[in-house]
A and B are shown apart, each in its own frame.
Chain A
Amino acid sequence: EPEVTQTPSHQVTQMGQEVILRCVPISNHLYFYWYRQILGQKVEFLVSFYNNEISEKSEIFDDQFSVERPDGSNFTLKIRSTKLEDSAMYFCASYGTSETQYFGPGTRLLVL
């Protein structure tokens, strides 16, 4: 069964550094998403992406965040200058024709 994959599984970075989280969505899906889950809190929507541009973004997704689909398979989330409060689990998801968003296993980001 096809699945969404994410790399790395864990990332530790220093405050102020840039990080790039990578996702490979399911190959025939057209909508892609990033969510985050701060420890002990609920999963929050960050951004949706369709046809090579952002479709919708939440108020969390400010100027320090960006997304890109650099080639036909990868979907990336870049955090330009990380803050302590960016520490969270980041989930990528993709959506096709089955009326379901499929989630990757997540990347746990720790900002020190």
Chain B
Amino acid sequence: AQSVTQLDSHVSVSEGTPVLLRCNYSSSYSPSLFWYVQHPNKGLQLLLKYTSAATLVKGINGFEAEFKKSETSFHLTKPSAHMSDAAEYFCVVSPYSGGGADGLTFGKGTHLIIQP
């Protein structure tokens, strides 16, 4: 079984400042981990994924995340926030490289607010 905890339901940063969205996971397997983003009234877009290769993963739009097994964490960061980053971010875990019979397990989401 696996689970995901997103430690902040809301994060507010000023434009141009760093972003940190925190995620901890629990999994019986060596998991694959993902961050998806959902803009208002839009679907789910993959930002980045970790599937047992490099622990520092770079994604789209300047986002990156680091897999830390010892801390069971997969925090999402971006050096400089942009207004267009305002959205809901989901940390997601999968036991089977993102596919297979079992569905993905989503965290509750973090709402990122960008202040001008």
Interface residues of A (CB under 8 A from B): 31, 33, 35, 41-48, 50, 55-56, 58, 91, 93, 95, 99-106
A106 touches B103 (CB 8 A): no
- Is the beta-carbon distance between A56 and B101 smaller than 8 angstroms? yes
CA distance A31 to B51 in the complex (A): 18
Say how far A18's CB is from chain B's closest CB, in angstroms.
24
B40 at the interface (CB under 8 A from A): no
A49 to chain B, nearest CB (A): 9
Contact A42 B107 (CB under 8 A): yes
Contacts of B102 in A (CB 8 A): 45, 48, 56
Known contacts A42-B108, A42-B109, A95-B98; decide if A103 and B43 are in contact (CB<8 Å).
yes
Chain A min CB distance to B19 (Å):
21
Contact B103 A58 (CB under 8 A): yes
Q: How far is the CA of A91 from the CA of B103 in the complex (A)?
A: 12
By secondary structure, the B interface counts as loop
Beyond A31-B99, A42-B108, A43-B106, whether A99 also contacts B49 by CB under 8 A is yes
List which B6-38 residues lie within 8 A (CB) of chain A.
32, 34, 36
Shortest distance between the CB of A91 and any CB in chain B (Å): 6
B99 touches A101 (CB 8 A): yes
Residue of B nearest to A97 (CB): B99
**Docked-complex contact B44 and A50, CB < 8 angstroms:** no
Q: A95-B98, A103-B43 are in contact. List 15 more A-B contacts (CB 8 A).
A: A31-B100, A33-B104, A35-B103, A42-B106, A45-B103, A48-B102, A48-B103, A56-B101, A58-B103, A93-B104, A95-B100, A99-B49, A100-B46, A101-B99, A103-B44
Cβ contacts under 8 Å, A91 to chain B = 43-44
A100 / chain B contacts, CB cutoff of 8 Å: 34, 46, 49, 98-99
Asked if B77 is at the interface of the complex by the 8 Å CB criterion, the answer is no
Closest to B53 in A: A99
Chain A residues closer than 8 Å to B94, beta-carbon distance: 101
Whole-angstrom CA separation of A42 from B5 in the bound complex? 11
Most buried by A among B101, B103, B106: B103
Residues of A within 8 A of B109 (CB): 42
